[in-house]
């Protein structure tokens, strides 16, 4: 299972969220607290995640042109809270598994890719249980996507 660690923990600098597998840091995420954007370092590759328009979140390698999109999450219905995700061109179905916990199941071509959840407690952080074969780059994007959705839900509740 992967989880977003606490800000500045596990030897990361302040403003950086470690992506943990057990107690090991496998990637880092620097998520903006005031806009839907982040940079991620995944096994030496630098990613840029951002909001593109009002209903789309995208990801690209930092060395790619500004308009390149490798990873995408597009909101299909604001009222139903449904999303469609593409991971390097692979269409991924996103199904809400719990309205209260804001958890999701990700599958592609009839194969489970990952399940999301949270750590619980007063300040829950997103978790992701990836199936074998899901690339770490894709898992980090899905964790950031879950972080964005949890922040949106918290803002709506406030």
Which candidate, 52, 48, 139, places its Cα nearest to that of 92? 139
What is the count of structural domains for the chain?
Answer: 1
Structure tokens, 1: 């299972």
pLDDT of 67 strictly over 70: yes
pLDDT of 158 strictly over 70: no
- Ranked by mean pLDDT, the top range of 38-52, 76-90, 141-155 is 38-52
What is the extent of the structural domain holding 131? 2-157
Q: What percent of the chain lies above the pLDDT cut of 70?
A: 97
- Determine the number of helices (DSSP H) and then strands (DSSP E) in the chain: 1, 12
Sign of CA dihedral 4, 20, 49, 31: positive
Distance, CA of 102 to CA of 63 (rounded, Å): 33
Cβ neighbours for 110, distance < 8 A, ≥ 6 positions apart: none
pLDDT of 109 strictly over 80: yes
């Amino acid at each position: 299972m992967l989880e977003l660690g606490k800000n500045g923990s596990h030897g990361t600098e302040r403003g950086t969220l470690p992506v943990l597998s057990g107690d090991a840091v496998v990637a880092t995420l620097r998520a903006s607290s005031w806009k839907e954007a982040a940079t991620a370092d995944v096994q030496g590759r630098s990613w840029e995640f951002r909001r593109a328009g009002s209903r789309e979140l995208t990801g690209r390698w930092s060395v790619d042109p500004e308009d390149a999109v490798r990873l995408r999450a597009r909101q299909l219905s604001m009222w139903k809270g449904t999303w469609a995700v593409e991971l390097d061109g692979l269409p991924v179905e996103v199904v809400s598994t719990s309205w209260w916990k804001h958890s999701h199941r990700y599958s592609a071509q009839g194969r489970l890719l990952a399940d999301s959840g949270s750590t619980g407690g007063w300040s829950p952080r997103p978790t992701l249980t990836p199936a074998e074969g899901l690339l770490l780059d894709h898992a980090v994007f899905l964790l950031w996507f879950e972080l964005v959705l949890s922040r949106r839900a918290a803002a709506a509740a406030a």
